[in-house]
Structure 1
Amino acid sequence: MQKRKWYGILILIVCSCNPAAKKDYSWQPPDTGQIPATDKGRLIRYGRDLIVNTSSYLGPKGIRAAISNGMNCQNCHLEAGTKPWGNNYSGVFSTYPKYRDRSGSVEDIHRRVNDCIERSLNGQPLDTNSLEMKAITAYVLWLGKDVPKGVKPRAVGIRDLPWLSRAADPEKGRIVYQWFCRRCHGEQGNGLFNADSSGYKYPPLWGEKSYNTGAGLYRLSRLAGYIKDNMPQGYTHENPLLNDEEAWDVAAFISSRPRPEKPFPKDWPDITRKPLDHPFGPYSDSFPARQHKLGPFEPIRHAH
C-alpha cells in the first residue's frame, strides 16, 4: 500500500512538470517505412512481425518456441497495436514502468508482455533476455517514442462504456452474435485460420484455443468497450454498428461460454482495489460473484 502511495506521488510530480501531460495528446503511429536499416531497426521489425504473426513463431507449431495457443497478439491489439481504441500500444513507453493494482506491484514492460502471453495467449512466459522479448519490447517502445513521458494519449487502450442499468443478458447477446459475429468467428466461436493455417485471421472467442479466465478481456467492461469500438470488422469508434446495450449483451454471451480456466491467486492482493466487474472473489462487499460478472454494477459502485 505504501509503495502504491509513493509511486502515485512520483507520477503526479512527473505529470505536473510536463506541460504536455495536461493536454489531450493525440497520437499518430510512426511510419514503419522510417524504421532505420540498422541492427536496432531489424529488431523493431522483428518485434512487429512477432505481434502480427505470433503463432508462426510462438504458437503450437512455432518456429522459435511452442508456448502459446495459436492466437496472435494482433488478434487483440488491432493493426499491430496501432488502431485507436483498438487496445493499441501508444501509452506503453510513456507510462511504464508503473504500479498496477492487479499485481500490487510496479511492473516493467517485460512483465506486461508476459502477462499477455500467459493470459490472452494462454501460454508460458518468454525469457526476458530472449531475442523475442527484446524485439517485442523494441517495437512497442518505438511506437510510443514520440509520446512525452507521463502522458496517456487519447484513444489508448479500451474505452469505458457507461454501466448498464440492468444486468447484461447472455441470451440477448447470443442473438447479437448470430447476426454480426458468427460469420467471422464461427458458429461455435472457434475462429478462422488464415490461408496457410499458421495463425488466426479471426480469433477463437471461446473454447480451448481462446484466451483464459485470467485475461483482461474476460472482464465484461473490457470486452464490451472493445467490441463497441471495433466490431464487427471494419467498424470504429467514430462509426460503430452496435449500440451500448448490444455490446454489453454480446460480451456477456461470449464470457458465458467455456474457455481455459487458469487461476492467478496473487492477483488483486488488495481486494478493495478489484474492479467492479472482476468475476472472481473474494470481494470487499457482499454482492454475489454473478453480479460482479454480469451486473447490474451501479449498486456495487454505490456501495463502494
Structure 2
Amino acid sequence: MSNTSSNSTQPGLLQVFLYALLIALFGLLGYLGFSHVSTASDATDSTQVYVEPDSNFTHLWTAPSDWRMMYLKPEEKALVEYGKELIGHTSDYLGPKGSVKAISNGMNCQNCHLNAGTQPWGNNYFAVQSTYPKFRARSGAIEDQVKRVNDCFERSLNGQALAAESKEMRAILAYIKWLGTDVKKDKSPKGSGIFKLKGLKRAIDPAKGAEVYAAKCQSCHQADGGGVLAENGKSYTYPPLWGPHSYNHGAGLYRMSNFAGYVKYNMPLGANYEKPQLTDEEAWDLAAYVNSMPRPAKDLSKDWPDVAGKPFDHPFGPYADPFTEEQHKYGPYKPIKEWIAKHKKSKK
C-alpha cells in the first residue's frame, strides 16, 4: 500500500513542477517582449532633443498667502485689504464716477498691474517696497513710494495725484508693503516687474502690429481701441489701449520695450509666462501699432533733466546720442544701445 501510494504521488509533483516552470517561461518571454517594446520606444524618444527649461521662468517669486494676514493687527489688515481693493477696482472709487473722488480716467491699476499687482512678469509690485526710495533718472531725484504711486495716477491713469495723507494712499502703500513681505532690501526677486524682451534686428512695424491686433486683441479691446465699459459704467471690463480714456504718452507702457515685454507673457487673455501666445516679433510689432495710435498728451518738459539718462526707446528728444526720434521709437535699437554703452560715464 505504501509503495503504491508513493509511486502515484511522484508523477503529480513532477507535473506541478513542469507546469510552474512553463508559467515562468511564458512570463519571462512576455517580460522580454515588453522590454523590447519599451526599449524601441525609448530609442525613438532618444532622438528628440532635450530642451532645458528657461531659468528665467523657474522658481519665480510669488505674493504672500492671504492666510498670513491673520498675523497683522486688525487695523493694518483692513488697510491692506482696502489697498488691494483699490488696485483691483480703482475706478469704482477714484474714476470719473468714483465713490471717493473723480481723479482718474476710468482704468484700474490692475489693468496694467495684473492680478492686483501679483502676476509674475505681469508688472507686479514685488520689488517696490524693497527698492524705494531710490534715484530715478526720469525725475532726476530721489523718489519714494508716494511719488511712484502718483506717477501711475498722473500717467497711466491720466489723472491727478492722491494726497499723501489720504486713506486711499495709505491703503495702497500698505498693500504694496504687504506684497514686498520677505523681499530683502535693495533686491528685486525673479519675476518682478516686466520681462526684458530681446530686441529685433529690424525696426518694429506698426503695419504688422495692426494685423496682430486684429487677429488677437480686437475682440476684447475693440477695433477702435476703446475697450469695453463694464455694466456699472464706472470701469472697464477690457481697458482702452488708446483714445481719450487710455494712458497718456508719459506712461511706462508707452515705451515700446515695456509694452512688448508686458504683452508677450500676459496677452491675449489667458496667456502667461508659462503659456505665451505671441511670438517676440508679434509682441514688438503690436507695441509699435498700439503706441502709434492717438492718446492723451502730458507735459514731459521736466522729465529727464539729464538727457543722457534717457532709455534707448524714449521717443521724445533731445538726446545725448545722434539718433532720431523715429529710431528711438521704432528701432532698430541695437545701434542706440551700443552707443549709450560706449559713451556711458564711468562711475568712480
Q: Same fold (TM over 0.5)?
A: yes
Pairing 1:87–2:150 present: no
Equivalent-residue separation in structure 1 for 2:287 and 2:261 (angstroms):
9
Identify the match of residue 153 of structure 2 among 97, 117, 123. Answer: 117
Say which SS state the counterpart of residue 35 (structure 1) adopts. helix
**Residues 132-157 of structure 1: CA distance to partner in whole angstroms, max 9, x if unpaired?**
00000000101111111121100100
Equivalent-residue separation in structure 2 for 1:302 and 1:110 (angstroms):
34
Partner of 2:272: 236
Give how far 1:99 is off.
1.1
Give how far 1:266 is off.
1.3
Please report the RMSD computed on the Cα atoms of aligned residues, expressed in angstroms: 1.3
Pairing 1:27–2:61 present: yes
Partner of 2:309: 273
Identify the match of residue 134 of structure 2 among 98, 106, 115. Answer: 98
Say which SS state the counterpart of residue 159 (structure 1) adopts. coil
Sequence identity percentage: 56
Identify the match of residue 204 of structure 1 among 237, 240, 252. Answer: 240
**Residues 93-130 of structure 1: CA distance to partner in whole angstroms, max 9, x if unpaired?**
11111111111111100000000000000000000000
Pairing 1:64–2:127 present: no
Which structure has the larger Rg over C-alpha atoms?
A: 2
TM-score calculated relative to the size of structure 2:
0.79
Identify the match of residue 83 of structure 2 among 47, 52, 56. Answer: 47
Equivalent-residue separation in structure 1 for 2:159 and 2:172 (angstroms):
16
Long gaps (5+) in structure 1: 1-23
Equivalent-residue separation in structure 1 for 2:319 and 2:119 (angstroms):
34
Equivalent-residue separation in structure 2 for 1:26 and 1:208 (angstroms):
36
TM-score calculated relative to the size of structure 1:
0.90
CA contact (8 A) 1:25 1:151 kept: no
| Shift in CA distance, 25/268, structure 1 to aligned 2, threshold 3 Å | farther
Long gaps (5+) in structure 2: 1-57, 341-348
Structure 1 stretches of at least 4 aligned residues deviating more than 6 Å after TM superposition: none
Give how far 1:198 is off.
2.1
Say which SS state the counterpart of residue 115 (structure 1) adopts. helix
Aligned residues: 281
Partner of 1:180: 216
CA contact (8 A) 2:108 2:235 kept: yes
Say which SS state the counterpart of residue 201 (structure 1) adopts. strand
